[in-house]
A and B are shown apart, each in its own frame.
Chain A
Amino acid sequence: MTEPIRFEDVSKSYGDVVALESVDLELRPGEVHCLVGPNGSGKTTLLDLLLGLTRPTSGAVTVPDVPVGCSFQSPTFYPGLTVTENLDVFARLSGCPDDAWRERLRDVFGLDRVAGQLAGTLSGGWQKQLDLALGFLNRPDYLLLDEPFSELDDASKRRLLTFLSEFCTDDRTVLVVTHHVRRFEDIVDRLTVFEAGRVRYDGAVGPDETAHDRYLRVLGLDN
């Protein structure tokens, strides 16, 4: 069983700006965890800490030594390579298990249509699809998705949700950072609400209240 990711009393400042303050959080294996909050509430900083892209000012972040995949808010691939070449490069880097899996991702994200195009010349939607596919490449135990729906059309959003629900097994954890929690109602297990760098709510999502309603209630936006 995969160990959980733990944030213990984590604070992060950029100069005088406090991005996160005394955050305690646990991402449990097998859960789809939605991280929501207004702009600038510290969501992306938390993701950066989790990925080791920055270090906490204080506190500890414990990440088990298992494959982690991620899709960033802004596309992160080689703009000067084609879609296929990007998939090849990052498959090698991340240890993509097999060609069949890569083909599956090309199919799920519809990348065959743009396979030969330079990634930097793709539209925003296609760039997002490529970035998402790169996040899944190593069949990660922990998958981190930062605003996965941005730039996607409705059909692509539906395809992604279907694929996510297939992908999430007992061992796999998905952390979705989003403003659109309503879209993930069907698959979300746990909700964390951030505001001004602090955790305002962290708990399981039950049948009595939707994640979206809880989010609004926590932030006092339900009136």
Chain B
Amino acid sequence: MSLRSLLYKELRWLRHNVATVVLVLVILPSIVAAGTVAFQQVIPRDTPVALVPANENVTEDDMTAMRGVTTFFAEPRSYEVGEREQAMRALTREEVYAVFVVPPDLLERDADVTVEMYVEEEMVPYEQPSLAIASILRFQAGQVLPADVAVERTAVGEDRTLSEFLVSVGAMLVTMLFAFAYVPYVVADERQVFRRIRVESSLWHLLASKFLVLTPLLLVPVLTFQAIAWYLDFSVELVAPGAIGVTLLTFVYLTAISLGVMFLTRFHTVGRMVNVTLMFGALAFSNLVYPAGFFSPLRREIAKSSPLHYSMMVQRGISLKGQSVGTYTDYLLGLTGFTLVCLLFLAGTVVHYDRGGYRD
């Protein structure tokens, strides 16, 4: 009898938590299942690469031939003669992951030509794929081009280990965890005090105090990462002002999103699940570790539209590659704009919570 009663209770509970249950048991699995379409290959076939004519003797036919060959393993973007510096800058900014300098006479029978290929040392997960790509290029060019094509691969920048690379990624992961899991938990835990706060202060002040305390608090894990990196003699500068700046900016916009979700769902469990879903979604599709273009062109496009992807590129650029903030000015402006949009979203949800027929 007691089992029947408790089963009845469970059914009633399901009815009252239908939103959470549908999210966890229907929507989340659907997203995961549908998300697999973004994972099509285990070798990079869609990473953006730059094709730069070596000199003015390179013809449009040479460029077309090179585009054709590189299409097997990348998404080529053509540059003009004299734009080599721009192409290398694009490499630094992770707009492209390899630069190919296209020589003339690719279509001349028996001509000996060399394609220069540049990749970055710091882009550690691309090191082995780029070696494979050089081989594929050599093979494909030998198959389809009349000239004898050699590929000269040059890694620019400073040699970095995978561990060093992952330290900068790890700092971003902790930022995500802090923003999507810890902060919503802390604020939800204090929900019972909201009524008194609204009488004696305001939710705006409460949120401002949270941001003012928790944002600098994020420096603690960043410093911890840095301390361990120093201890292990890694060349990673997570404490460079620009790297800290973009990490904190990232935390602010992620937190604005997660808190907005919590206010919008009135701190219901479904809000926490939405945040967890967002966190895993951002993790899976923002290409924090692998270059955009790994796995599928769809995933590349999703990553290219994810602010987190740009946060990671800027943080990595400054902390791992030693680039200046100026290299990423446009990215940072975009991220700042996105942060403002997220804060506006949060403000809208607070107004909705504050005035929209709220009742405990």
Q: Which residues of A contact B (CB under 8 A)?
A: 14-15, 48, 51-55, 68, 70, 72, 74-80, 90, 93-94, 134, 138
Within 8 Å by CB of A77, from B189, B196, B359, B360, lies B196
Considering the complex, which residues of chain B in the window 240-269 have a beta carbon less than 8 Å from any beta carbon of chain A?
A: none
Nearest Cβ in chain A — how far from B354, in angstroms? 9
Q: How many residues of B contact A (CB 8 A)?
A: 17
Chain A to chain B: the 4 pairs with minimum beta-carbon distance, closest first: A76-B196, A93-B200, A94-B200, A76-B195
Given the complex, which residues of B lie within 8 Å of A138, measured CB to CB? 200
Q: Is B231 an interface residue (CB 8 A)?
A: no
Q: Once the chains bind, are B360 and A70 in contact (CB under 8 Å)?
A: no
A76 to B195, CA, bound (A): 7
Q: Is B190 an interface residue (CB 8 A)?
A: yes
Nearest Cβ in chain B — how far from A197, in angstroms? 14
Interface string of B190-201 (1 = CB under 8 A from A): 101111111111
Q: Does more than half of chain B's interface fall in helix, strand or loop, or is it mixed?
A: helix
Q: Once the chains bind, are A54 and B200 in contact (CB under 8 Å)?
A: no
Within 8 Å by CB of A72, from B196, B355, B357, B358, lies B196
Selected A-B contacts with CB under 8 Å, 15 pairs = A48-B359, A51-B199, A52-B199, A53-B199, A53-B358, A54-B355, A76-B193, A77-B192, A78-B190, A78-B193, A80-B190, A93-B200, A93-B201, A134-B196, A138-B200
Q: Once the chains bind, are B358 and A54 in contact (CB under 8 Å)?
A: yes
A220 to B199, CA, bound (A): 36
From known contacts A79-B189, A80-B189, A93-B201, infer whether A70 and B196 are also in contact, taking CB-CB under 8 Å.
Answer: yes
A15 to B197, CA, bound (A): 25
Nearest Cβ in chain A — how far from B95, in angstroms? 46
A77 to B357, CA, bound (A): 23
Specify the chain B residue showing the minimal Cβ separation from A77: B193
From known contacts A54-B358, A93-B201, infer whether A76 and B189 are also in contact, taking CB-CB under 8 Å.
Answer: no
A68 to B195, CA, bound (A): 14
Within 8 Å by CB of B192, from A76, A94, A134, lies A76
Given the complex, which residues of A lie within 8 Å of B197, measured CB to CB? 93
Q: Once the chains bind, are A53 and B196 in contact (CB under 8 Å)?
A: no
A15 to B357, CA, bound (A): 8
A204 to B197, CA, bound (A): 33
Q: Does more than half of chain A's interface fall in helix, strand or loop, or is it mixed?
A: loop
Considering the complex, which residues of chain B in the window 172-193 have a beta carbon less than 8 Å from any beta carbon of chain A?
A: 189-190, 192-193
Specify the chain B residue showing the minimal Cβ separation from A135: B196
Nearest Cβ in chain B — how far from A141, in angstroms? 14
Given A51-B195, A79-B193, 13 more pairs with CB closer than 8 A: A14-B357, A15-B357, A53-B198, A54-B357, A70-B199, A76-B194, A76-B195, A78-B193, A79-B192, A90-B196, A93-B197, A94-B200, A134-B196
A70 to B198, CA, bound (A): 12
Given the complex, which residues of B lie within 8 Å of A74, measured CB to CB? 192, 360
Q: Once the chains bind, are B359 and A75 in contact (CB under 8 Å)?
A: no
Q: Once the chains bind, are A72 and B195 in contact (CB under 8 Å)?
A: yes
Specify the chain B residue showing the minimal Cβ separation from A93: B200
Given the complex, which residues of A lie within 8 Å of B193, measured CB to CB? 76-79
Given the complex, which residues of B lie within 8 Å of A80, measured CB to CB? 189-190
Considering the complex, which residues of chain B in the window 65-112 have a beta carbon less than 8 Å from any beta carbon of chain A?
A: none
Given the complex, which residues of B lie within 8 Å of A76, measured CB to CB? 192-196
A75 to B190, CA, bound (A): 11
A74 to B193, CA, bound (A): 10
A79 to B192, CA, bound (A): 8
Nearest Cβ in chain A — how far from B234, in angstroms? 36
Nearest Cβ in chain A — how far from B278, in angstroms? 26
Specify the chain A residue showing the minimal Cβ separation from B355: A55
A15 to B358, CA, bound (A): 11
Given the complex, which residues of A lie within 8 Å of B360, measured CB to CB? 74
Max chain A C-beta neighbours (<10 A), residue from B189, B193, B355 = B193
